[in-house]
Amino acid sequence: MKVMTLNFLTCAVKNCKSSNDSFPLHPKEAELAKDDIEINPQLLINVLPRIDWAALRTTSTELGFPTLPEQPPSPEDLQSDEALLKELHELLMETQMMEGKLVCGHCGHEYAVKNGVANFLLPSHLV
Amino acid sequence: MGSHSLPSASAADAVAKLAAAEALKSTAASAASAPGSSTETASGTAQGASAAGDAGAVTVVPSSDTPAVAVDPEVEAEAYERANVHNVYEAIAPHFSATRYKPWPAVAQFLHAQQPGYVGLDVGCGNGKYLGVNKNTFMVGSDRSANLVSHANERVMELQKPQQQQLLPEAEVARAQTGGSKKEKKQKGEVPQADGERESEAPNAVIGKETVREVAVANDVLVADGLSLPFREGRADFAICIAVIHHMSTRARRQEAIRQLLKCVRPGGQVMVYVWALEQGESRRGWDEGGEQDLLVPWVLKSQQPKPKKEKQPKPRKQKQKRQQQQMQEQEQVNTPMQQQDQSSSEPQEAIAAESVGEKEATPTSSSTLSSSSIPKDTSTAIGGGTGAGVTEPASADADAAAAAAAGPDAKTDTGGVAANADPVFQRYYHLYRKGELEEDVLAARGAVVMSGYERDNWWVVATHATNDDSVQT
């Protein structure tokens, strides 16, 4: 489960979809790993506007990383700043949550993450 | 904003932190790249079939829950699908996965048409064969089968491994560097590996020459039900759902699945849905217009892997067909379909089914072998608010090949009767779409049809929101 992916996930429970508390999901007891992935500048620069930066800041902080700046870098920033690009790549693409739980801030349901894969199947009473 | 963000300081810290994390979890990291053992499944199924190809280990489909006590049709529909779809895929995952490697042309074309940086979803990703087809998009695959997802995860890990072949001429390396990271480039100037996938699109670049190369692959996978997806609404640029909704046993659920897909994409975002067609005049299955639409299609789990087919060796379909035609005929008889229903007057086409359709006689059998088939029933029709849990299945991209695989090369399985050879037979529920039905479902899901077509025994459609107000981020 990449940090990038977390930026696009919310609780699978229908009633939670409309709640602001269901996003982002909160990592709990997270064990992280870092993959070695080749950087794709074109992808990153284009993906940047699709990211909910505020949520990314939250996730990043909750995972124990230093606080991200309030504003996202601009595409120009990324194009001209190689180091910045690389950092973003490391955070979004290379950082993996291998184990732990993802908790919905609205209903409190916890989704297990095992071997890097999150399981969003709901118990029948939550469907 | 000149003073952009990510101050080096904090960034550096982040990196340091990561390094620490990495050290701590080095084991986990390696575990990630290893064949994942799957997580537990909701239905607690055949866990015996873990990653590798030990198909032989699986024998019977556990039909755990749900006594066939009729109650809520929706609940029943879920139970039916659990037994006749979900559990089956959990059980045949390794074998199934070994037979899925080549993207359908129409799907590949759709994926290649997506812009760099687009975020896409593959609902019912199965073993993840569509992840990484367009290397400049970020794709998240989901599937209800934890076992299939573990295969998909292996694929993701494989895809993102830095390529080792370097052969970029100096000049090119230099050019590539203009846009950004140099190190990476150098150590892995990868070579366009052209197995099966064509990188046709010439992405509009943002960084000049960079676009020429295929660079990192960004994909992820998770386990989720197609009717209870965890994706934020309106955030994805596109979504695909290939060979999935034909496994849902009521029309209401199939339409709801499409509606859920549409909800996931932004205004103007496109959703491609691909389903098995009733009209298969060209195939030897014998299904065609006017035939039954709700069927149980057998999958013969070969006790030994048919051969290590890998993704790398795409096999021309024709060839395969030729070779296996015979066997397929025998394998594919359709067995008992679900039966119909009276209750809902609404869906004519779903109803009824009881007779077998295939070109051969129905195998009496299989049903007896699998516990699963015994369970359900009567679910075929509609009703149901369309929600519910369960469904979304696998990504069998091509059901066709699936069947083919079932008849695997070494299979001389015989026909009719089940058992002469001990290979277990699993029945999967399918709703075969008749011409025009998929488009109807899109409209019912409040979508609009952008385009649609037929490809090798399958109907496909590209849909978008009915009300088009492009905006958001494009």
B449-461 confidence digits (pLDDT tens): 999 999 989 999 9
Segments in B284-350 forming alpha helices (H):
317-331
ipTM score: 0.97
Domains, chain A, ranges and CATH? Answer: 3-126 (2.20.25.10)
Contacts of residue B442, Cβ cutoff 8 Å, sequence gap at least 6:
B258, B273, B448, B449, B461, B463
Q: Which residue of A has its CA nearest to B208?
A: A42
Segment among A10-24, A45-59, B185-199 with least mean pLDDT? B185-199
Cβ separation of B5 and A70 shorter than 8 Å?
Answer: yes
Which residues of A fall within a CB distance of 8 Å from B18? 32, 34, 65, 90-91, 94-95
Q: What does residue B197 show for φ and ψ, rounded to 5 degrees? A: -95, 135
Distance from CA of A72 to the nearest CA of B (A): 6
Query: Is residue B308 over pLDDT 80?
Result: no
Distance from CA of B255 to the nearest CA of A (A): 17
Which residues of B fall within a CB distance of 8 Å from A75? 206
Q: What pLDDT score does B57 carry?
A: 30
CATH, range B52-163+217-465: 3.40.50.150
Q: What pLDDT score does A30 carry?
A: 97
Percent over 70 (pLDDT), chain B: 45
Distance between CA atoms of residues B3 and B6, nearest Å: 9
pTM, to two decimals: 0.64
Q: What does residue A65 show for φ and ψ, rounded to 5 degrees? A: -90, 160
CB contacts under 8 A, A 87-116 vs B, are 87-91, 93-96, 98-99, 111-112, 114-116
Q: What pLDDT score does B448 carry?
A: 97
Cβ separation of A2 and B41 shorter than 8 Å?
Answer: no
The residue with greater pLDDT, B65 or B114, is B114
Q: What does residue B53 show for φ and ψ, rounded to 5 degrees? A: -105, 40
pLDDT band at B163 (very low <50, low <70, confident <90, very high): low
CA distance readout (Å), A63 to A24, A56, A102, B97, B318: 12, 10, 11, 34, 50
Give the closest of B26, B32, B184 to A115, CB-based: B32
Which residues of A fall within a CB distance of 8 Å from B193? none
Strand pairing class (B236-242; B119-123): parallel
Q: What does residue A17 show for φ and ψ, rounded to 5 degrees? A: -55, -35
Q: What pLDDT score does B109 carry?
A: 95
The residue with greater pLDDT, B19 or A108, is A108
Distance from CA of A28 to the nearest CA of B (A): 15
Segment among B84-93, B100-109, B186-195, B426-435 with least mean pLDDT? B186-195
Query: Is residue B119 over pLDDT 50?
Result: yes
Give the closest of B42, B211, B473 to A49, CB-based: B473
Mean per-residue pLDDT over chain B, rounded: 62
Q: What pLDDT score does B391 carry?
A: 32
The residue with greater pLDDT, B371 or A16, is A16
Distance from CA of B101 to the nearest CA of A (A): 21
Q: What pLDDT score does B101 carry?
A: 65
Region for B29 from its dihedrals, namely left if φ exceeds 0, alpha if ψ lies in -120 to 50, beta otherwise: alpha
Q: What pLDDT score does B458 carry?
A: 93
Distance between CA atoms of residues B279 and B273, nearest Å: 17
Cβ separation of B179 and A79 shorter than 8 Å?
Answer: yes
The residue with greater pLDDT, B338 or A90, is A90
Q: What pLDDT score does B416 carry?
A: 39
Peptide bond into B7 cis (omega under 30): no
Distance from CA of A100 to the nearest CA of B (A): 12
Contact in structure between A98 and A116 (CB atoms under 8 Å)? yes
Q: What pLDDT score does B428 carry?
A: 86
- Cα-trace Rg, chain A: 15
Residues in chain B, total: 474
Which residues of B fall within a CB distance of 8 Å from A35? 29, 32, 157, 160
Q: What pLDDT score does B421 carry?
A: 56
Distance of alpha carbon B78 from the chain centroid: 19
The residue with greater pLDDT, A124 or A115, is A115
Q: Is A20 on the interface with B (CB under 8 A)?
A: no
Q: Is A18 on the interface with B (CB under 8 A)?
A: no
B399-448 confidence digits (pLDDT tens): 443 443 333 333 333 333 344 457 778 888 899 999 999 999 999 999 99
Query: Is residue B12 over pLDDT 80?
Result: no
Tokens 């459609």, residue located: B461
Cβ separation of B18 and A87 shorter than 8 Å?
Answer: no
* Mean pLDDT, residues B347-365 taken together: 29
